A and B are shown apart, each in its own frame.
Chain A
Amino acid sequence: MKKLPDAEFEIMKVVWANIPPITTNMIMEQLGNEKAWKAPTVISLMSRLVERGFLSTEKKGKERTYSAKIDKEEYLQFETGNFIKKYHSNSFSSFVSSLFEGRKINEKDIDELIKWVKDRRE
């Protein structure tokens, strides 16, 4: 799997947000106007996504329909996981304040903390 360029990624976002089968018309309606893309642009972007194995396509009568071959979660894991792997750390950026930035906590320890807080009330 390779990281998608921005334009193709935008198309995939629309594909993921809709129930298949997806038509180019749907993409045009939801994205084409906003981005000022013409129909041929969208069609070529989608055929590239088919080549990449992100979309599958079939022709039903006159109309060509598409559906996602890779789901959103899978691709999200890939893209963000790559980022984490590349930077070997669990902090995303040094310029960001996280509400809690640290290692994970056992469910048991969390329950204990909750209990401790509750006990303080009495």
Chain B
Amino acid sequence: MQSLVCAVGLSSITMSLIALLLLFLSPFLFKKYSPKWQYYSWLVIIIGFIFPFRPHFRFAPVKVRILTIDTYTSKESTMSTLNSGVEIFTDSDASAISVFNMIGYIWIVGMCFVLGYHIIKHYRFTRMVKRWSDEVTDKQVLAILNVLKTDMGITKEVQLKRCPFIPSPMMFGFTSPTILLPAASYHKDELVFILKHELVHFVRKDTWYKCLVLLAISIHWFNPVVHFISKAINLHCELSCDQDVIGDADCITRQQYSETIIAVIRYQSRAKTVLSTTFYGGTKGMKKRIISIMDTSSKKGGITILIGIFIITIGISVAFTSSSFKEDKNESSVKKVTVTAAATSGKPGVEQPPYSDGAVLPLLQYDSEMHVYRYKGKWVRLIDDRYIWNGMSYGGLSTGSEGDNNTWGDFIDLKTVRNPNTNKIEQLLELSKEEARTILATLNQ
């Protein structure tokens, strides 16, 4: 749970930074590149949000757990240690785990809630549409639709319905589209543009894109940036759809298309349906759209933006994950220092218990690429550091996380050999398979 919470939190932060970068560059990109590239750059970012785990993304692969040996502080636990003979190492702070668990559960509940909310809303919407809408039977309108379908190579059946409560034409459906028209009576020329616009949405699979956005919103419901992005995506979805509708048409066609969209909005703004409760303030987004439609200057294809965003998405997340791992390590070394300070308070040159399993670490090699500790080239699965000092048993076992032999290679199980006089670790021995199995069995009990 801890690593999951960390991974999601971290990807939320890193992806937000990338998203803010794109948002910040947006006005500049808007002038130079066609909106389509920005629309699909957002897709890369959305996918980055959805998959928090990436290659080489491993959290504390060898969980070299920090020892908190109670034996040092209380006699009671010394007894228990003696009895069991094995001190099972716990994570540095048990309460931290429960906090992580709690955060994890809140996150999952929130995710289910957001996802459920949107699904129920959509279900209720489609039910309402079913109740209130009527199939369009006007032959002229159907003829326009059929011509457009043939032009665009759509073989799927397209349902066309008139729905009295919607303010603007809309399209939904994953495999076969349903186009809804409001009660307004549009002119034939206007219908051509409106229907083409909705069919472009279908051809581009924008409904699927919206699903991914919703998934990202559900996973990162706690992150306001994601909600903000979804608004930007909606705008770019429409901007790029407009672009696909007009293609490289002349100025007059662009003007007609602009006027059609303005007519749709005029109807929507005048509508005395339930939507009259919403506020005014759509002017800015609208202006941007009209300017974009009327813009005949040639725009660069922005594949560079797309690739750039892709590289940054992969790159930054890797950088962040490795730095986060280093932070983890620093934290543990701080704790080690305090422990060693306590430990050296005894006889000089003699290492008194307790001391952390950090004492083993200098004897291992840290593989910064895979984030695992290695010994003789193999990744360390188990360290047996149980020992007797002044007639009492100390130390314990530490285990790495579940290993992946395919990516990390072979594992090794080690046992420490301590000097009876100084109690320092003198060498590491490899445990036999049989010994290791017995020890692991006691750990799993």
Contact = CB atoms under 8 A, between A and B. Distances in A.
Given A6-B131, A105-B265, A117-B262, A97 B206 contact: yes
Query: Main SS of the interface on chain A?
Result: helix
Interface string B102-134: 000000000000000010011011101001100
Interface in A72-107: 76-77, 79-81, 83-84, 87, 90, 92-107
A98 B255 contact: no
Contact of B265 (A79, A90, A94, A100): A100
A76 B132 contact: yes
Contact of B201 (A76, A94, A97): A97
Nearest to B237: A97
Given A76-B164, A96-B172, A90 B278 contact: yes
A9 interface: yes
A35 interface: no
A116 B259 CA distance: 11
Contacts of A114: 259, 262
A51 B250 CA distance: 61
B285 A102 contact: yes
30 contacts: A76-B164, A76-B165, A80-B132, A81-B274, A83-B128, A84-B275, A87-B121, A90-B278, A93-B121, A94-B213, A95-B122, A98-B168, A99-B238, A100-B264, A102-B286, A104-B269, A104-B280, A105-B283, A107-B270, A110-B262, A110-B266, A114-B262, A117-B255, A117-B258, A117-B259, A118-B255, A120-B251, A120-B294, A121-B252, A121-B255
A99 B261 contact: yes
B194 interface: yes
A104 B278 CA distance: 7
A26 interface: no
Interface in B365-390: none
Given A96-B171, A113-B262, A116-B290, 20 more contacts: A76-B132, A79-B128, A79-B131, A80-B165, A80-B273, A81-B277, A90-B278, A93-B121, A93-B125, A94-B121, A97-B201, A100-B264, A100-B286, A102-B285, A105-B265, A106-B269, A107-B266, A110-B266, A117-B258, A117-B290
B279 interface: yes
B198 interface: yes
Of listed A84, A93, A97, A121, residue having the most chain B CB within 10 A: A97
Contacts of B238: 99-100
Given A84-B277, A104-B278, A92 B261 contact: no
Interface of A: 6, 9, 76-77, 79-81, 83-84, 87, 90, 92-107, 109-110, 113-114, 116-118, 120-121
A33 to B, nearest CB: 18
Contacts of B118: 93-95
Nearest to A77: B274
B83 to A, nearest CB: 59
Contacts of A102: 282, 285-286
Of listed A77, A92, A107, A116, residue having the most chain B CB within 10 A: A92
B170 interface: yes
B259 to A, nearest CB: 6
Chain B: interface size category? 35 or more
Interface string B149-193: 000000000000000111011111000000000000000000000
Interface string B279-322: 11111011100100010000000000000000000000000000
A84 B274 contact: yes
B63 interface: no
Contacts of A93: 118, 121-122, 125-126, 172
Contacts of A105: 265-266, 269, 280, 282-283, 286
Nearest to B207: A95
A102 B280 CA distance: 9
Contact of A99 (B198, B274, B285, B287): B198
A105 B167 CA distance: 13
Interface in B197-220: 197-198, 201, 206-207, 210-211, 213-214
B234 interface: yes
A96 B294 CA distance: 26
